[in-house]
Amino acid sequence: MHFFHYRQNELYAEDVPVRLLAEKYGTPLYVYSYNTLVRHFKAYDEAYGTFPHVICYALKANTNGAILKLLAKQGCGADIVSGGELFRALKAGIPAGKIVYAGVGKTEDEIRFALKSGVLMFNVESADELREIDRVAGTMKMKAPVALRINPDIDPQTHPYISTGMKEHKFGISIDDALEHYRIASRLRNIEIVGVQKHIGSQITKITPFVDAVKRILILVDELKRRKFNIRYLDIGGGLGITYLNEKPPVPADIAKQLLPLINGREVTLVMEPGRSIVGNAGILVTKTLYLKKGEGKTFVIVDAGMNDLMRPSLYDAYHHITPVARRKRGQIRADIVGPICESGDFLAKERMIYGVRRGEYLAVMSAGAYGMSMSSNYNSRPKAAEVLVNGGKHSLISKRGTYEDLVSHEVMPGFLR
């Protein structure tokens, strides 16, 4: 559920016409709905009721500081994968004690930063990484809280690029090797084992992979507890899908209903790492139609947002619904909606039936809140899009449009070229 809707054929973000935002802030423009974000967070929080739980929003989906701050104010934690994400999470006021740190390639500096900050736990992905965290913690005279990321070998039935929990993936430790790795961890003096983590992939729209993966992990948790490991956190990762086209993913309450009876009775705090299901449908990308071009047997709608602004269609062939900001009574055309980038892969939609659109008119790319802005780049030297947050009738810029100066501000001219 989100708060983007039509009123008399005008698209609104909450109570604000999207056209007004496009005119005020320019395009391409990411628009987010405050009340959708809060609602999505609460859907998780309320689903688990009094069962001890921490919702650690996966920053990688969208790292804007205002979005992080509004989630922090709701009591949200963070799932991070880099020092940069840790910096952002702390800056937005997310307490370190609610931050879990994932990723297969944590560097010494990043480990140090996380230890100094006091993160809830490291989700460790290999024996080498365990030893490195142990070494770094030793130099700091600290004990590092650690969960092992276990790869339960469950097919999440999603796009292969965003599946992570199977044997062939680089992520986590195979469930068959889990006990051995816990044994290795228990021998390291500066490691404190606190949990078990799993994450099997993203945009999962069925309930069974979640339940099957948790069942498999629980067998391990019970075995570890039997062996006197102090497992206090069960981190079930993220991955819940959203509706892009006609998917009907379960809502957090559906999942909780199945998981809670399985987990009940074990003294663990449940940790979740949702990203997409919090921000995905809470954001749209607004773009302006620049030109219409009739190719051979094909019409191209050329817009001012490109693959540098929203990479998902190019990268995963992902579907995003595209709808006119002002709906007019016109016939439909079949068209490719493409950006200005010099690549054939630069498209937002292919062979899409859309209502006839004219130059200068705005289109909204829906469900663009997750992995939109956070995966954007300056490719073709295009400044970054601006971002706006709408709350009821109020709206505010939360990230300025990039400038040409931004494009070169990091560059350093060597002396011999001056």
Residues near ligand LLP, by CB under 6 A: 58, 60-61, 79, 102, 162, 199, 202-203, 237-240, 273-277, 312, 316, 370-371
Question: Between residues 274 and 324, which has the closer beta carbon with respect to ligand LLP?
Answer: 274
- Of 342, 353, 412, 417, which one is the catalytic site residue? 342
Question: Between residues 162 and 326, which has the closer beta carbon with respect to ligand LLP?
Answer: 162
CB of 37 to ligand LLP, least distance (A): 14
CB of 274 to ligand LLP, least distance (A): 5
Residue 76 annotated as catalytic: no
- Write the single-letter amino acid at 80: I
Cβ atoms within 10 Å of 300's Cβ, excluding its own:
15
Q: Are 369 and 284 in contact (CB under 8 A)?
A: yes
CB of 384 to ligand LLP, least distance (A): 17
CB of 56 to ligand LLP, least distance (A): 8
β-strand pairing of 173-174 with 29-33: unpaired
Q: Which two tokens stand for residue 265?
A: 């009775």
Q: Are 138 and 186 in contact (CB under 8 A)?
A: no
Question: Between residues 16 and 311, which has the closer beta carbon with respect to ligand LLP?
Answer: 311
Alpha carbon separation from 313 to 51, 238, 317, 341, 349 (Å, rounded) = 38, 22, 4, 14, 7
Q: Are 286 and 13 in contact (CB under 8 A)?
A: no
Question: Between residues 71 and 357, which has the closer beta carbon with respect to ligand LLP?
Answer: 71
Question: Between residues 224 and 255, which has the closer beta carbon with respect to ligand LLP?
Answer: 255
Distance CA 298, CA 106 (A): 47
Question: Between residues 235 and 387, which has the closer beta carbon with respect to ligand LLP?
Answer: 235
For 384, phi then psi, to 5°, come to -70, 150
Question: In terms of residues, how long is the chain?
Answer: 418
Question: How many Å is the Cα radius of gyration of the chain?
Answer: 23
β-strand pairing of 191-197 with 233-235: parallel
Question: Between residues 27 and 123, which has the closer beta carbon with respect to ligand LLP?
Answer: 123
CB of 128 to ligand LLP, least distance (A): 18
- What residues are paired with 270 via a beta bridge? 53, 234
CB of 385 to ligand LLP, least distance (A): 16
For 22, phi then psi, to 5°, come to -60, -40
CB of 273 to ligand LLP, least distance (A): 4
Residue numbers annotated as active site: 342
